[in-house]
Amino acid sequence: MFDALKRDIRACLERDPAARNTFEVVLTYPGFHAMLFYRLAHALWQRRLRLVARLISYGGRILTGIEIHPGARIGRGFFIDHGVGVVIGETSEIGENVTLYHDVTLGGIAPSVDSDQQRNVKRHPTLEDDVIISSGAQILGPITVGRGARVGANSVVLRDVPACATMVGIPARQIRGRAGREEAEAPKFRAYGTNADMPDPQQRILDALLDRVQGLSMRIEELERQLSEEVAAEWDEDNDFDPEEETLDDETPVGSKGRR
């Protein structure tokens, strides 16, 4: 437990530029305080002292504004930035070096009316190593967020997330992937799990559709021009009109097909 707490302190110093030293983290960081309560409550939960564990967890919630069920499994190097409003459900599983921002929910989607059937059943998400969940994001249901994935702010994730993917939107859609890239080439840690130049997936789809429509319009204009030229050529060939051979006479019609 103490080794895990040391890793948690190191994670705060590595990922938050506002953290200046260990004492500042220990004394002023609610995310670290929440992990203190959680590590103790989880140890008691594993020893089947469930009520005591829940009381300690509840005390941590009152003091920090962060609710972590003692039954959740959280790896080392876990960092909660700011922390207010974070909720981590009972059957959640979190790997190592995971970062959560404020107002993140790792929750379930099943209704509470059949709670007896849901006991001891996996109903909360699994976050693999090196995942970043941005502020306000909701990760719901027994889904898996793959290693190194990023979830943008205020996104709602309802399906499994591939490793190294970036998800945004409601419901969340994949806008970027890093699968197959070398670790040295992978993007570094980004605050809130997003980049300033991150494209909007819906706008990207609209732009592609507009480009397609414009291309089809140009093609239609080209076909109409070709058709017009072919019709004009056929008309001249059928009438076989030669202005040099035809003469204008007051008594005789001009041309063999009734032109005057």
Whether residues 205 and 126 fall in one domain: no
Q: Is the pLDDT of residue 182 over 50?
A: no
Whether residues 147 and 246 fall in one domain: no
Whether residues 101 and 164 fall in one domain: yes
Q: To which residue do tokens 């993007």 refer?
A: 187
Residue 259 — pLDDT band, cuts 50, 70, 90?
A: very low
Whether residues 146 and 221 fall in one domain: no
Q: Is the pLDDT of residue 154 over 80?
A: yes
Average pLDDT over residues 43-47: 93
| HEC profile of the chain | CHHHHHHHHHHHHHHCCCCCCHHHHHHHCHHHHHHHHHHHHHHHHHCCCHHHHHHHHHHHHHHHCCEECCCCEECCCCEECCCCCCEECCCCEECCCCEECCCCEEECCCCHHHHHHHCCCCCCCEECCCCEECCCCEEECCCEECCCCEECCCCEECCCECCCEEEECCCCEEEEECCCCCHHHCCCCCHHHCCCCCCCHHHHHHHHHHHHHHHHHHHHHHHHHHHHHHHHHHHHHHHCCCCCCCCCCCCCCECCCCEC
Report residue 245 as tokens.
Answer: 């051979």
CATH number, domain containing residue 104: 2.160.10.10
Q: Write out pLDDT tens, residues 61-102.
A: 999 999 999 999 999 889 998 888 999 998 999 999 999 999
Whether residues 156 and 206 fall in one domain: no
The pTM score is 0.69
Residue 72 domain boundaries: 2-199
Whether residues 225 and 131 fall in one domain: no
CA dist list (Å): 107 to 87, 121, 151? 7, 13, 15
Whether residues 156 and 182 fall in one domain: yes
Q: What is the number of structural domains in the chain?
A: 2
User: Please, what is the average pLDDT of the chain?
Assistant: 81
Whether residues 192 and 229 fall in one domain: no
